[in-house]
Amino acid sequence: MQAIKQTDFHFPLQDNFYRGKVRDVYYFGELMAMVATDRISAFDVILPEAIPYKGQVLNQIAARNLEATRDICPNWLLDSPDPNVAVGYKCNPYAVEMVIRGYLAGHAWREYRDGKRAVCGVPLPEGLKENDPLPEPIITPTTKAMEGHDEDISREEILAQGIVPEAEYVILEKYTRALFQRGTALAAERGLILVDTKYEFGRYKDEIRLIDEVHTPDSSRYFYLEGYAERQDRGDEQKQLSKEFVRQWLISEGFQGKDGQSVPKMTNDVVNSISERYLELYKQFTGAKLEKQSYDKALLRIESTINQTISRLRGY
């Protein structure tokens, strides 16, 4: 099966490189080019098989949502010249991810189910069921680990440890709530519920900017709006479009990223089913099927596009 597992370009103007869990990032002074590969991660572990078209789906959804939220706060993106490429400003990232939750799902539910009544220092009421709406959206930050697992952290700990100055953290909170409100409205227009998501921020020339991806299935959890209330009343599982189904498959195979656990074998059927879910989400989001770019000479296409875009933006 064809997919982009990684890139290994060497550009004339390049001065640095970073390989993340799913993105290969090339630096050019104050500019950077992100290549959305088809790698997939879960529980902070990169899975062994790449997922066809996943990179195209994520990059294009992220670009649409960055444009749709630019009036709320400035962001890093300058251009998305290829289905797998985004080019923008190199920002100095904050060492926290701003996770915001409107419903009790995923990690928060697992903590609640195990008896905890607070997440990241935010209290939760008694009597909630999995996937219930919260009284109001809550911000539950995590540390941003370059390697390994992100860890829950409270607002108080962030400020006490000086990870983010309080005046700037207040701005991050304000942006996070406004972005989640916009994301919720955009999702509703497409028949979806934005359950929870995360935002990352950085500074460029003393200005706080939204960075990385926004409202994608990798960074967010979505339920289908139609039938949500009925499923909740019956105690049924919610129909969702997010990466949670990958996590649930891994859990069912005995893997949660813990020491001593081995990633289960990803058969062609598993890889195909994951790819189809990403394509389904793209269609649900945009109302159109993904215009699949051929994998034939894909790396040459991406390399040429980055070269041309960086040269144009730097005035060469």
Question: What is the average pLDDT across 68-72?
Answer: 97
Q: Is the pLDDT of residue 241 over 90?
A: no
Confidence band for 192, pLDDT divided at 50, 70 and 90:
very high
Residue 1, pLDDT above cutoff 80: no
Please report the pLDDT score of residue 146 as a whole number: 57
What's the rounded mean pLDDT across residues 258-282? 91
3-state secondary structure of 311: helix
Kindly tell me the sign of the dihedral angle through the C-alpha atoms of 119, 125, 126, 128. negative
Correct CATH for 94-214+225-233 of 3.30.565.10, 3.40.640.10, 3.30.470.20, 3.20.20.140: 3.30.470.20
pLDDT at 242: 73
Which position has the higher pLDDT, 147 or 114? 114
125 backbone φψ class: left, alpha, beta (φ>0; ψ -120 to 50): beta
Task: Report the percent of the chain where pLDDT is more than 90.
Answer: 83
For the chain, give the percent of residues with pLDDT over 70.
98
DSSP 49: S
Determine the average pLDDT of the residues in 247-254: 90
Which pLDDT belongs to residue 145? 66
Interval 163-192 mean pLDDT: 97
Is residue 127 packed enough to be buried (19+ CB in 10 Å), middle (13-18) or exposed (0-12)?
exposed
pLDDT digits (tens, 9 = 90+) for 2-27: 999 999 999 999 999 999 989 999 99
| 144: confidence class by pLDDT, cuts 50, 70, 90 | confident
**pLDDT, position 312:** 95
Q: Which residues have CB under 8 Å from 103's CB, separation 6+?
A: 131, 132, 133, 134, 193, 195, 196, 223
How high is the pLDDT of residue 66?
97
Using one digit for the tens of pLDDT, what is the confidence trace for 211-232? 989 999 889 999 999 999 999 9
pLDDT at 93 over 60: yes
* CA–CA separation, 3 and 154 (whole Å): 39
* pLDDT exceeds 80 at position 149: no
Q: What is the reported pTM?
A: 0.90
Mean predicted confidence (pLDDT) in 166-193: 97
Q: What pLDDT score does 240 carry?
A: 84
Q: Give the chain's mean pLDDT.
A: 94
